[in-house]
Structure 1
């Protein structure tokens, strides 16, 4: 009988979306390139969504009998569940091997073995070469306490002494790794012949040239970037296009930095023109923008390829940037970039980190509002300490006080030399409501009207909402306040019940009680209409296929897609044109003028209110906006 090997991967946190198991796919494809391994071992991938429970995963893994080897791709959100499964596995098969690999456990053998003594091997770095060597060793009868000849691992000898073998050099020629997509190591289609995942993952390169204090990019920080060949990537895109992969997510650190990235986009667009897929690309864009980057964005815009452009600024404070060992683009450069993106109808989204050493509430909110002048969408992440990073190693120097996550194994910062616990509590509330109101694009237009016409900053609006939630006696708000308690949770997921309680009625009450009194009386009727316009742009959820009057919205076809239609909505001001003019930096009239428009909403939203790119894609569009967006594929 063949040796049974299970490779286990799990998607992020509580997310129910299905993501391609690329990491373990590489392990399988490289191991099976060895004829002996392929002949002697049955290597199977088990891929679970982020909301799969440990009990369900354990039953599934052991239902058909105990495997001989369990290998886990470990990150902070699955460290504890995978440790619990390892303990169960050893009860059934004490002689079986348990292998942990991944960013969260690399070079952390001492802690892993102390907390989960059932783990036999921890992989320190890239796993493909190590995994195949471990599998050939298993076939040769090696003992997991005697793996001294395998580089790049940690294990325990029989007497309990930890051994860490010499570090293995990073793979310089990535072409030695067979493609999980081209070899079939990762199946692309489900039983019904449809693409099997919500997201298709690809790597075009490995490595990161930067050494930010908060980041550990697979151990490749400060490393030369190494790329896969254009021919290989083109073939992978062909496979994904034929399979109908709607969204491609690139596991790259700085896409757009390398010359071949433009070639990749050229090939992607050719595949899309042939098959109609992929429809969208998501990636971590390079923070320093070359001429090639602008060509890439322009080509994507001209072709109608959807993408969210995320600019990771992290902080706007120069002192904090110094402590991060990070350099952003100069202020005028990123402002010019964002203006260029907006002019080309590409939505830019900015990322900031709250709680970095040296940061204060005042410095952070100044930076937040400076960024908000260019886009309302700003993702704010609470700082967490990742293993092997400089912040992790210099915690005492910065006075960092941390706590482990409730549902993950990340360390979250409670306080440090420039941030008290009380200040952090207030800002965690801010992060929560920023996520709900701004990051999710639940409100999208009112920010600019409040800022440009009434001088009310985006951060003050969010803080006003937070303060109102703490003081109002509205029963739905009280319940929301309890559900959205301050948390450092890296899962970024808001309790789903919050969205059920955040009704139009509640938003109108907040607006009337907390915001209207803050703006000049002469502007209130106009800002009321902008706020109503924002609410009118909300995606149509499956249970809300009717208008405010309860009439069912008809479905029409435009550009080969199905849309809900809401006709003849009248505003007391020409709100869509007014908001667009403010975004262009133009002067606008605040005089009333009746304006009637029609709204279109893509069908199939599914009620997923957690993810900005879905909100962005399914937000209501006016007739003119839909016409402007429509570009032949």
Structure 2
């Protein structure tokens, strides 16, 4: 029996598994082939983001059986670790085969083979059929490695020379790839019988018609979109509903672009009606929001689906847009779209990238503030030079200065034309704090009233808290600042976010900033409201309960899926003012007082690292004079 192990590792260090979709496809194809299934034994080794090298080596190889082939699904966060595991594997089985696949290594064989001599094969492009053909070749000619007839790969021959075979055509009929769910290639449940993953990952199609300079989505940019059949997708949705998957997250590049996307939503709603699950849908939405997009949004709202709608603008600078090759998108219509989504009561998130050629600190902050005036959240990211993208090919043209990440292999842009290195590093600091506070909604309710009544922009408010922490004398503040990396990469944001939730000392520093810096910035007649506003914010945050720890003071369990507070008195009716909205012309609030009970869904600890999911865990306030909570943002944990 030919032993194969497929290795995948998630990006995040979270206490819940991420679904190994790429490995699941490979296993499903191998198991389905008459000429391979009976001759191979394929196992998936799925690691969490925080797994150490020694832990992965023990699980992958510690049973004493070094497999005949190890195939790694490689992305920027695991490139180095998987190279080290390949080296360990070759010490145990020098005649074994190591395969690297994934967008981070596709068409990068020269670098991969140079840095990792123990890697034998790099898959270029879609991997399912290429990998199966490679396994078939190895079954016929064990110990040999010269698969010149297998399309879509690069390999190192026994004499050390490197060969690259012709590209494999894209798979036109995606249904020939067996479903990794319906075939059982990916297990669905944990030891307790519950759904075992943070989200259920699905593809409804492959390909992207755009060719943005920074993107290499699925290795299929600038290509016609190919779709799975409706029947197959409906069966997969039914499978997820049966297993009570709370969230379906699509890997599509432009959901809402195709007529088939409306059909998918119809089937999603039918699944929810049948099982009560899934309860949320997340995706990367079509860049140009059409009437089809609006119909989909309306349908999701009518059936109580949680979903965030991402406006992937990346920049509001015309110079930067030109360099990004995004002029073909109708991004100038975003304001009317935001107004429509707000009217529908739907959450809308803007997305910006710092570091694009043509962007300056001034233009970026102006764009950020313009978005924050209209959107509930704005997600900001540092620019990466990804393999196979136009930016990577044009690094000299744009004057990129880059560095690899401390814990990953991503190539972060330190600076390009438009900003000095010192300016760029300061902007990285801002991006970090913006991600922490806004993207991850540590602050949520305070933004609009603070902007409106103080005259400060959101970037000025964020910078003020950043500088407050930098000047704070407490050892806890110094330790927190040590957590902040030079580059605003996601692992650092996640560590800092959890530190904020776990440390009362850090929360008190934030509260002191609000009391001493922000409250005095409000008009005198509004300062009582400003003080109450932050307390309302604090009680409305998702309740972060570490396993085995007691609930915070003032909270109690309310059934298996929620926590509820004791009545909390306020000097002013904050909830009513937030609902009405405040302006400088609004009459100051009367000190009539109010008392609220807050209800927060349980399970935020397991989902705090995913800002798209964790927003569903925010606490909902009910005036004690009201009969009930109305619509509760329930999103049960997947753990």
TM-score, normalised via structure 2 length: 0.93
Instruction: Determine if contact 2:601/2:633 at 8 Å carries over to the other structure.
Output: no
Question: What corresponds to 1:190 in structure 2?
Answer: 190
Quick check: 404-413 or 425-434, which moved more?
425-434
Are residues 1:222 and 2:225 paired?
no
Question: What corresponds to 2:592 in structure 1?
Answer: 594
Question: What corresponds to 1:532 in structure 2?
Answer: 535
Question: What corresponds to 2:615 in structure 1?
Answer: 616
State the Cα distance separating 1:401 from its structure 2 match: 0.6
User: CA offsets per residue over residues 444-498 of structure 1, 9 Å max, x none?
Assistant: 1111001122211111000111111112223322222222243243445234434
Instruction: Determine if contact 1:570/1:595 at 8 Å carries over to the other structure.
Output: yes
What is the rounded CA distance, in whole Å, between the counterparts of 1:330 and 1:134 in structure 2?
43
What is the rounded CA distance, in whole Å, between the counterparts of 2:393 and 2:297 in structure 1?
38
State the Cα distance separating 1:191 from its structure 2 match: 3.8
Change (3 A) 1:345 1:629: farther
SS at match of 1:56: helix
What is the rounded CA distance, in whole Å, between the counterparts of 1:96 and 1:23 in structure 2?
22
What is the rounded CA distance, in whole Å, between the counterparts of 1:103 and 1:71 in structure 2?
14
SS at match of 2:604: coil
Instruction: Determine if contact 2:104/2:387 at 8 Å carries over to the other structure.
Output: yes
Instruction: Determine if contact 1:121/1:144 at 8 Å carries over to the other structure.
Output: no
Instruction: Determine if contact 1:257/1:293 at 8 Å carries over to the other structure.
Output: yes
Quick check: 620-629 or 347-356, which moved more?
620-629
State the Cα distance separating 1:376 from its structure 2 match: 4.1
Are residues 1:112 and 2:112 paired?
yes
What is the rounded CA distance, in whole Å, between the counterparts of 1:610 and 1:192 in structure 2?
23
Change (3 A) 1:332 1:418: closer
State the Cα distance separating 1:370 from its structure 2 match: 0.6
SS at match of 1:387: coil
What is the rounded CA distance, in whole Å, between the counterparts of 1:14 and 1:232 in structure 2?
32
Given candidates 496, 499, 502, the residue that maps to 1:500 is: 502
Question: What corresponds to 1:461 in structure 2?
Answer: 461
SS at match of 1:182: coil
Question: What corresponds to 2:22 in structure 1?
Answer: 23
Instruction: Determine if contact 2:14/2:609 at 8 Å carries over to the other structure.
Output: no
User: CA offsets per residue over residues 192-229 of structure 1, 9 Å max, x none?
Assistant: 33222222111100000110000001220000000000
SS at match of 1:185: coil
What is the rounded CA distance, in whole Å, between the counterparts of 1:599 and 1:163 in structure 2?
63
What is the rounded CA distance, in whole Å, between the counterparts of 2:189 and 2:345 in structure 1?
34
Instruction: Determine if contact 1:541/1:607 at 8 Å carries over to the other structure.
Output: no
Instruction: Determine if contact 2:248/2:278 at 8 Å carries over to the other structure.
Output: yes
Question: What corresponds to 1:310 in structure 2?
Answer: 310
Question: What corresponds to 1:398 in structure 2?
Answer: 398
SS at match of 2:380: strand
Q: Please, what is the CA RMSD of the aligned residues?
A: 2.3
What is the rounded CA distance, in whole Å, between the counterparts of 2:293 and 2:276 in structure 1?
24
State the Cα distance separating 1:555 from its structure 2 match: 3.7
Change (3 A) 1:43 1:329: same
Aligned length: 625
Quick check: 128-137 or 13-22, which moved more?
13-22
SS at match of 1:494: helix
Instruction: Determine if contact 1:599/1:620 at 8 Å carries over to the other structure.
Output: yes
State the Cα distance separating 1:326 from its structure 2 match: 1.0
TM-score, normalised via structure 1 length: 0.94
Quick check: 359-368 or 49-58, which moved more?
49-58
Instruction: Determine if contact 1:404/1:410 at 8 Å carries over to the other structure.
Output: yes
Instruction: Determine if contact 1:74/1:100 at 8 Å carries over to the other structure.
Output: yes
Quick check: 370-379 or 520-529, which moved more?
520-529
State the Cα distance separating 1:362 from its structure 2 match: 0.4
- The within-5 A match list for 1:399-414 is 399-414=399-414
SS at match of 1:600: strand
Question: What corresponds to 2:323 in structure 1?
Answer: 323
Instruction: Determine if contact 1:402/1:411 at 8 Å carries over to the other structure.
Output: yes
Change (3 A) 1:290 1:376: closer
Question: What corresponds to 1:63 in structure 2?
Answer: 62
- The within-5 A match list for 1:372-521 is 372-491=372-491, 492-495=493-496, 496-501=498-503, 503-521=506-524
Task: List gaps (5 residues or longer) in structure 1.
Answer: none
Are residues 1:40 and 2:42 paired?
no
State the Cα distance separating 1:273 from its structure 2 match: 1.1
What is the rounded CA distance, in whole Å, between the counterparts of 1:451 and 1:336 in structure 2?
21
What is the rounded CA distance, in whole Å, between the counterparts of 1:59 and 1:278 in structure 2?
35
Instruction: Determine if contact 1:382/1:490 at 8 Å carries over to the other structure.
Output: no
State the Cα distance separating 1:230 from its structure 2 match: 0.3
Quick check: 605-614 or 169-178, which moved more?
605-614
State the Cα distance separating 1:154 from its structure 2 match: 0.6
Change (3 A) 1:27 1:610: closer
Instruction: Determine if contact 2:620/2:629 at 8 Å carries over to the other structure.
Output: no
What is the rounded CA distance, in whole Å, between the counterparts of 1:331 and 1:153 in structure 2?
38
Instruction: Determine if contact 2:450/2:456 at 8 Å carries over to the other structure.
Output: yes
Change (3 A) 1:148 1:577: same
User: CA offsets per residue over residues 482-521 of structure 1, 9 Å max, x none?
Assistant: 2224324344523443443364422221123332343433
Quick check: 53-62 or 121-130, which moved more?
53-62
State the Cα distance separating 1:163 from its structure 2 match: 1.1
Quick check: 495-504 or 391-400, which moved more?
495-504
Instruction: Determine if contact 1:476/1:506 at 8 Å carries over to the other structure.
Output: no
Instruction: Determine if contact 1:15/1:51 at 8 Å carries over to the other structure.
Output: yes
SS at match of 1:493: helix
State the Cα distance separating 1:187 from its structure 2 match: 1.8
Instruction: Determine if contact 1:240/1:278 at 8 Å carries over to the other structure.
Output: yes
State the Cα distance separating 1:12 from its structure 2 match: 1.0
What is the rounded CA distance, in whole Å, between the counterparts of 1:25 and 1:197 in structure 2?
14
Instruction: Determine if contact 2:310/2:350 at 8 Å carries over to the other structure.
Output: yes
What is the rounded CA distance, in whole Å, between the counterparts of 1:40 and 1:546 in structure 2?
53
Instruction: Determine if contact 1:432/1:486 at 8 Å carries over to the other structure.
Output: no
Instruction: Determine if contact 2:157/2:163 at 8 Å carries over to the other structure.
Output: yes
State the Cα distance separating 1:83 from its structure 2 match: 0.6
User: CA offsets per residue over residues 407-437 of structure 1, 9 Å max, x none?
Assistant: 1001011112212121122111112211222
